[in-house]
Amino acid sequence: MSLLSVKHLSVTFDTPDGDVNAVESISFDVLPGECLGIVGESGSGKSQTFMAAMGLLTGNGHASGSVQLNGREILNLPAKQLNLIRGDDIGMIFQDPLTALTPHLKIGQQMAEVLNVHRHMTGAQAQALCLNWLERVRIPDAKSRLTQYPHELSGGMRQRVMIAMAMLCEPKLLIADEPTTALDVTVQADVLDLIAALQQEQNMAVVLITHDMGVVARMCDRVQVMRNGAFVESGLVEDIFANPGHDYTKRLLDAMPRIDTDSSRVLDANANVILDAIDVKVHFPINISGGLFGRKIPLRAVDGVSFKLHEGETLGIVGESGCGKSTLARSVLRLIEPTDGVVSWLGTDLTALDKRTMIQARKDLQIVFQDPFASLDPRMTIADSIAEPLRTFRSDMSNRERRDAVKDMMQHVGLEPTMINRYPHELSGGQNQRVGIARAMINRPKLIICDEAVSALDVSIQAQIIALLKELQAEFGTALLFISHDLSVVREISDRIMVVYLGRVVELAEAGELCTSPKHPYTQALISAVPIPDPIVERSRKRIKLTGDLASPLDPTAALRFLPSKLAAGELDYNPKLLETTPGHFVAEHD
């Protein structure tokens, strides 16, 4: 018998432009103890399907059809009755835990509220159960977390708190809505392992809503593929991946980058070095004792990074949140001033240039940011945004020449000429990212830094942007620094990969070699955590886990995490050396 049975569910929203049909007469069942994957890209109706089932639609949303939990109709129940089901029989993990948690309540208060409502449990008994679940989801120093606020926790810990809250009453069904989208790859793997362990332990059904086919391959028993509010394909996960029947499913699978396939190019061995970073450091003074005259210690965001970038090359920079990737990129462009070190651009030390000369140098040094909406001026048309670098660096051009150049670049990046007078809010995320790329490319720069430029995009749009960057690079000979926490994407586009841990390089090698033969324990852990969109391959892989939590960059001994022998010997100031183990393959010292 089905635990959850959905029949002919439709969801409609009233808008000023008329009714929008988000979900159109879909039917499916969730069986006890299974993991069902609901797969599709943004706007396909995945989340709205379960928001409707849970009675969480916005005021202009309307649901019709049938949703039965253990044979009981729950669709459109009064809020008072639904509140007895939500958090008890059904738990839900929302995509963004920071907005789902109440910011002004401590973690312990929020968790205890669930027990008070559903189990009439209060006081020490409730706190003990909350602590037990925080420990079960493997939050370090769990007792102290009960008295902290959501903003005091990392993204991974907030997600674990959400899982603990959802599990407090041991629900029969857990709905996980993109539970790992914003997480680092190792934290994502930990969260997925945790959900799988709880599913088995509690014989709980799980609905996993995602656009990541690698996550589906790791977790799911069955898959429902959703597009434009309807299911286009369903079946066992092995069958869907081995023999996808619908063109949309095939496109989703084809768009997923894989860390186990090699698409790297053979570079010209005689290509010139255009960027040479030598022992770059960026330290921020942090007040640790409070007060105006408190003691300050340096936060080593970037702590002695060296690398070379060749003409036309793509160097991928990977690492977890807080490792210093973006700070390093900004220091190269002097958007953040380096504390020490040299950044040599075509033989000129950028760190020695005055402000005016540095502005002129940026004609050849451009950056594409992660969030295109935040990096584009909402008051400017996309044509004006793309033309802005021309107005700064090409004052000799007439208005007509600038407009022609903008139209030509829009064509290069796949933007329709009819969009020339539109504003950012009138375009999709992928289209706005193309605007950002067009703006960066308009002056034919020699270097573009892509800082998480595709991480917020659907897989098909992500694949289009990567293909576009490769085409533009081939046409204009541009070098790329490609920064991401997603190793699959980095391997897809990079010639070499540099792995950064707490502001220091721990491994640097050709992309294929690094992904197939990683030498450093940190690199090995990162690669083993990357899901592969193939259920047979993915479920046969062995996960390499690092012990302990990610060390703080405020900790002066953090660099010795992989050299415990130096710690034991009391050599606390020792900095691991980067050694060339084979030609072109550099690895930091480790035990």
Per-residue model confidence as pLDDT tens digits over 455-507:
767 788 888 888 888 888 888 889 999 998 889 999 999 999 999 998 999 99
Among 207-221, 271-285, 425-439, 523-537, which stretch is predicted with the lowest mean pLDDT?
A: 425-439
Q: Which residue has the tokens 């390499």?
A: 544
Residue 419 reports pLDDT greater than 90: no
With a CB cutoff of 8 Å and minimum separation 6, the contacts of 484 are 316, 317, 318, 450, 452, 454, 455, 490
Where does residue 289 rank: exposed (0-12), middle (13-18), buried (19+ CB within 10 A)?
exposed
Among 394-408, 477-491, 546-560, which stretch is predicted with the lowest mean pLDDT?
A: 546-560
In this prediction, residue 264 carries a pLDDT of 64
Among 153-162, 291-300, 363-372, 528-537, which stretch is predicted with the lowest mean pLDDT?
A: 291-300
Give the Cα separation of 385 and 367 in Å (integer): 14
Q: Give SS3 for 331.
A: helix
User: 524 falls in which pLDDT band (50, 70, 90)?
Assistant: very high
Q: What is the pTM of this model?
A: 0.85
Among 3-7, 188-192, 530-534, which stretch is predicted with the lowest mean pLDDT?
A: 188-192
In percent, how much of the chain has pLDDT > 70? 97
Total Cβ atoms within 10 A of residue 546: 15
Q: Where are the beta strands (DSSP E) in 407-554?
A: 447-451, 479-484, 496-501, 504-510
Per-residue model confidence as pLDDT tens digits over 16-53:
878 889 999 999 999 999 999 999 988 889 999 999 99
In this prediction, residue 198 carries a pLDDT of 86
Residue 549 reports pLDDT greater than 60: no
Per-residue model confidence as pLDDT tens digits over 71-117:
999 999 998 899 889 989 999 988 778 788 999 999 999 999 999 99
Per-residue model confidence as pLDDT tens digits over 212-256:
899 999 999 999 999 999 999 999 999 999 999 999 999 999 989
In percent, how much of the chain has pLDDT > 90? 53
Task: Name which of 365, 403, 373, 367 is nearest 386 in CA terms.
Answer: 403
Mean of the per-residue pLDDT values of the chain:
89
Give the Cα separation of 93 and 167 in Å (integer): 10
- Do residues 338 and 281 lie in contact, with contact meaning Cβ atoms separated by under 8 Å? yes
User: 453 falls in which pLDDT band (50, 70, 90)?
Assistant: confident
Which residues partner with 210 through β-bridges?
A: 39
In this prediction, residue 35 carries a pLDDT of 96
Q: How far are the Cα atoms of 103, 110, 162 from residue 116, in angstroms, in the given order?
A: 19, 10, 17
Among 139-153, 449-463, 560-574, which stretch is predicted with the lowest mean pLDDT?
A: 449-463
- Do residues 314 and 480 lie in contact, with contact meaning Cβ atoms separated by under 8 Å? yes
- Do residues 468 and 166 lie in contact, with contact meaning Cβ atoms separated by under 8 Å? no
Q: Do domains 4-255 and 296-588 have the same CATH topology?
A: yes
Give the Cα separation of 231 and 214 in Å (integer): 20
User: 413 falls in which pLDDT band (50, 70, 90)?
Assistant: confident
User: 191 falls in which pLDDT band (50, 70, 90)?
Assistant: confident
In this prediction, residue 567 carries a pLDDT of 85
- What are the structural domain ranges in the chain? 4-255, 296-588
Residue 416 reports pLDDT greater than 70: yes
Give the Cα separation of 5 and 71 in Å (integer): 8
Question: 556 vs 326, which has greater pLDDT?
Answer: 326
Question: 471 vs 10, which has greater pLDDT?
Answer: 10
User: 189 falls in which pLDDT band (50, 70, 90)?
Assistant: confident
Total Cβ atoms within 10 A of residue 474: 11
Q: Write down the CATH number for the domain with range 4-255.
A: 3.40.50.300
In this prediction, residue 548 carries a pLDDT of 59
In this prediction, residue 90 carries a pLDDT of 94
Residue 181 reports pLDDT greater than 80: no
Which residues partner with 510 through β-bridges?
A: 496
Q: Write down the CATH number for the domain with range 296-588.
A: 3.40.50.300
Give the Cα separation of 133 and 163 in Å (integer): 9
